[in-house]
Structure 1
Amino acid sequence: MEALIGLGLLVFLLVTGIPIAWAFAGALGYFAFMYDANLNTLMMQGFRSINSVVLIALPIFVITGYLMQTGGIAARLIQFMEVLVGRRKGGMGTAMVLASGVFGAIAGTSTAAVASIGKTMIPALEERGYPRGYSSALLGISSLLGILIPPSIIMILFGVVTRQSVAALFAASIAPAIFLIILLSIINRVFCSRVFTEAVGSYDDSSSISRGKATTRALPALFLPFLILGGIYGGIFTPTEAAAVAAVAALIVGVFFYREMTFSKFSRSLVEASQTTGSIIMILLFSFMIGRILSMERIPQELTQYISSLLSDPIMILLLVNAFLIVAGAILDDVTVTVVIAPLFLPLMVQQGVDPIHYGAIVACSVVIGANSPPVAPILYMASSIGQVSVHKMIIPALTFIALAGIPVMLVTTFVPELALFIPRLFGLI
């Protein structure tokens, strides 16, 4: 009961607008008081937990996302995808989905993708007949491909808190990401045919940039995902080293190839990345301390026994965990779900025969749904701001994308383990 009250307090503090890190601090204070925990010991254990080589990748990937945004990389990716598929019915929407996927394969974050891609694509989509509410909702869910496509900051956090291989977790979410891209593209095509009419454009040298020119300009940007992922799975460098390579490569491309990176832009990127990283590290520190208290009190084990006593059917247990993760994602932020809620169910999932790496892919899928589901829906609200449209105009298309794409991807990932485990096994990661 005390654990439920503590989690309820955390939810209450987050909903009332308390900064996330301090909401965690408040919940930690409650847990420490109720369970008579030694804060000095907890603090040392917390610092020991965040003293991880793997976590070095976190701030570097955050910096990479901001460097892509300010260095012209995102703009070239969008231009290339627009020329590549923009002529077809539903092509502009598909271009935004693909651009978000490639952006995620470099930066590992969704917020930078919303800002970079949305500012360029939303006006262009409106010119082609896309309602702003619809295109902003599509932007919100497609930007979350950065959570599924490696390198993923969420997967780094999950790997650290559950002590799983980050490289294996990266690989486990690739197939679900491809599945999500396919479903979003199909749904977008249907919307363009049945709900509104897209004005299909044509590209030629006189009216727009040529395909060859767009491809040439985008080559340095397109090279980055191959460099990062090829290096990781080719055994050339670790995910942490890949983060450093990505940041340096993004800086070089922005300065010497696109020549849009200035000292002021670079300085601003460092400041914004530092603020984002500082907030995440504080959340991690407090969450590690909360997790230590819960672990000492055997809360995850008691939760496993309680659910097992209620349900004996493994399918129903998996569906219950899916539903809980989705609901948690709708009222909590993605970091909270990843570092606090998801680990609570890990013993239960292992008891049901679910590989921890497979479970990581399930958690990533749940975060994609939760970040677009009201009432919290941080990515949905950010997309609303970037698209300059009220949230209520986005709700119906957003829920449609969740129902027809997000939930099916999560269910297939849950009940077809090979979707998540095939690639990690292929590279000998599990």
Structure 2
Amino acid sequence: MSAILALPLLIILMAIGLPVAWSFAGVLAFLTFVYDINLNTLMLQGFRSLNSLVLIALPLFILAGYLMEAGGIAQRIIAFVGRLATGRGGMGTAMVLSSSVFGAISGTATAAIASIGSIMTEPLVARGYPRGRIAALLGVSSLLGILIPPSITMILFAVVTRQSVAACFAATIGPAILLIIGLILYNRFLVGRAFDELPIPDQKVESFGSVTFRALPALSLPLIILGGIYGGIFTPTEAAAVAVVATLVVGGLIYREFTWKSLGSSVIQAAETTGTIILILLFSFMISRIMAFERVPQDLTEAIQSVVGSPLGALLVVNLVLIIAGALMDDVSVTVVIAPLFLPLMVASGIDPVHFAAIVACSVVIGANSPPVAPTLFLSCRICKAPIMEAVMPALGLMGFVALPVMLVTSFWPDLSLAIPRALGLM
């Protein structure tokens, strides 16, 4: 059972500052040495696992996210949502809804934080929002990109667990809607209690009709992408290519904000992100082969079932492990390591793999904003220019009162995540 040491070793390597991809390489080297595995054969199996058409969608959706930021698309979306969201907590609502629309195009949290945070932080500060609360709300709402399809995390889950990408996409729609409602209501509750939202200063404001007209091309992108996928017009992989082309057309020909420099920067950023994820995937596939050969998932399933004794208890244990792992590792690591490791236990407990996909996605929302690692929250604080200590308590409030209940409802109410895939004939 030396393979059980792989997860603590991975966490230790990441904690001492080793890049995530090379932390996986270190774990692979350890397992190869312990079990005396033929590395040449293992490498060949890893490359075969990467030979997947589904993975082509990965760099394309990532590129679409960076192109949105460079092409002025995010600004139009935020301007439209800002005029649409009125009443108490309207500016916070605008941030949540903007993250939702952004996620329906790019499928990633990083680009959403950079785009939405850089545009909305100062207006929110001017309305009376504390920077720490802005960073916390941005960190949690940006992860709607993981729940709202298309989602890069769900692409990775589908690849490592051999599930339908479209079904995994659809499974997270219900939890995403629940999280959006929860974030908006929680923010509205805080306004006037924890802080005051000041009125908009007297200034010339563009009419709603004008803002809507300018935003229509940007708002058409999620309709094209999601409508094409679930309308059977193209596959998720083809949708990724459509997303890039549509973003280039809208940003380049309609808004005309692309420059050669911004295009080059977007491609470089997308390539760096993709390269890191592919390396992690390669090493994780090889690690998974070793663990499967050593029957680690099966032994883990038997051990937990012997201790817990009920499917409900097993589900609670997995929820707890996902939250703890998410607080120590990034979303990609959780998805490619924890998901395949616990999938046999979930299947043995009567949990559908597509339902498990939604549970994993919800856990990432909590873990990515939980100390000590909290990569999403740290990035949000950097963009919002907020001290991390001012953002921790607001983030814990959002997760304790919104994100955690959403995860528990998703876990124990299967129809929330399975109804839409079934209705669309994906299961």
Alignment of 1:286-325 (within 5 A): 286-325=283-322
**Do the aligned residues in 1 keep the contact of 2:21 with 2:276 (CA within 8 Å)?**
yes
- Matched to 1:225, the amino acid is P
- Matched to 1:414, the amino acid is S
Task: Could you tell me which runs of 5 or more consecutive residues in structure 2 were left unpaired when the two chains were aligned.
Answer: none
**In 1: Cα distance, 2:365 partner to 2:27 partner:** 25
**In 2: Cα distance, 1:3 partner to 1:384 partner:** 36
1:181 aligns with 2:180: yes
Residue by residue, what CA displacement relative to the aligned partner does 1:198-228 show, whole Å, maximum 9, x if unpaired? 013389xx62111111111110110000100
Residue by residue, what CA displacement relative to the aligned partner does 1:70-117 show, whole Å, maximum 9, x if unpaired? 0000011111111111x3110000000000000000000000000000
**Do the aligned residues in 1 keep the contact of 2:137 with 2:395 (CA within 8 Å)?**
yes
**In 1: Cα distance, 2:336 partner to 2:171 partner:** 18
1:216 aligns with 2:213: yes
1:380 aligns with 2:377: yes
Match of 2:282 among 278, 285, 291: 285
Q: Return 34-43 or 164-173, whichever deviates more.
A: 34-43
Alignment of 1:322-333 (within 5 A): 322-333=319-330
What's the counterpart of residue 344 of structure 2? 347
**Do the aligned residues in 1 keep the contact of 2:368 with 2:375 (CA within 8 Å)?**
yes
Residue by residue, what CA displacement relative to the aligned partner does 1:280-316 show, whole Å, maximum 9, x if unpaired? 0000000000000000000000000000000112212
Shift in Å, 1:317:
1.3
**Do the aligned residues in 2 keep the contact of 1:88 with 1:200 (CA within 8 Å)?**
no
What's the counterpart of residue 66 of structure 2? 66
- Matched to 1:352, the amino acid is S
Alignment of 1:219-298 (within 5 A): 219-298=216-295
**In 1: Cα distance, 2:89 partner to 2:199 partner:** 8
Residue by residue, what CA displacement relative to the aligned partner does 1:386-428 show, whole Å, maximum 9, x if unpaired? 0111100001100000001111110000000000000000100
Secondary structure of the corresponding residue to residue 353 of structure 1: coil
What's the counterpart of residue 402 of structure 1? 399
**In 2: Cα distance, 1:265 partner to 1:122 partner:** 22
**Do the aligned residues in 2 keep the contact of 1:108 with 1:149 (CA within 8 Å)?**
yes
1:5 aligns with 2:2: no
**In 2: Cα distance, 1:268 partner to 1:114 partner:** 17
**In 2: Cα distance, 1:328 partner to 1:171 partner:** 24
Task: Could you tell me which runs of 5 or more consecutive residues in structure 1 were left unpaired when the two chains were aligned.
Answer: none
Alignment of 1:68-147 (within 5 A): 68-85=68-85, 87-147=86-146
Residue by residue, what CA displacement relative to the aligned partner does 1:32-89 show, whole Å, maximum 9, x if unpaired? 111111111110000000110000000000000000010000011111111111x311
1:170 aligns with 2:169: yes
What's the counterpart of residue 38 of structure 2? 38
**In 2: Cα distance, 1:193 partner to 1:40 partner:** 63
**In 1: Cα distance, 2:4 partner to 2:102 partner:** 38
Residue by residue, what CA displacement relative to the aligned partner does 1:351-384 show, whole Å, maximum 9, x if unpaired? 1111000000000000111000011111000001
**Do the aligned residues in 1 keep the contact of 2:311 with 2:350 (CA within 8 Å)?**
no
- Matched to 1:47, the amino acid is F
1:28 aligns with 2:28: yes
**In 2: Cα distance, 1:28 partner to 1:112 partner:** 30
What's the counterpart of residue 47 of structure 2? 47
Alignment RMSD, CA only? 0.9
What's the counterpart of residue 413 of structure 1? 410
**In 1: Cα distance, 2:364 partner to 2:84 partner:** 30
Secondary structure of the corresponding residue to residue 193 of structure 1: coil
**In 2: Cα distance, 1:295 partner to 1:200 partner:** 59
Residue by residue, what CA displacement relative to the aligned partner does 1:126-180 show, whole Å, maximum 9, x if unpaired? 0000000001100000000000000000000000000000000000000100000
**In 1: Cα distance, 2:333 partner to 2:175 partner:** 22
What's the counterpart of residue 365 of structure 2? 368
- Matched to 1:66, the amino acid is Y
**In 2: Cα distance, 1:98 partner to 1:123 partner:** 18
Give the TM-score normalised by structure 1. 0.98
**In 2: Cα distance, 1:328 partner to 1:381 partner:** 17
- Matched to 2:175, the amino acid is P
**Do the aligned residues in 2 keep the contact of 1:89 with 1:200 (CA within 8 Å)?**
no
Secondary structure of the corresponding residue to residue 372 of structure 2: coil
**In 2: Cα distance, 1:137 partner to 1:243 partner:** 29
Match of 1:356 among 353, 358, 362: 353
Shift in Å, 1:2:
1.1
**In 1: Cα distance, 2:87 partner to 2:11 partner:** 45
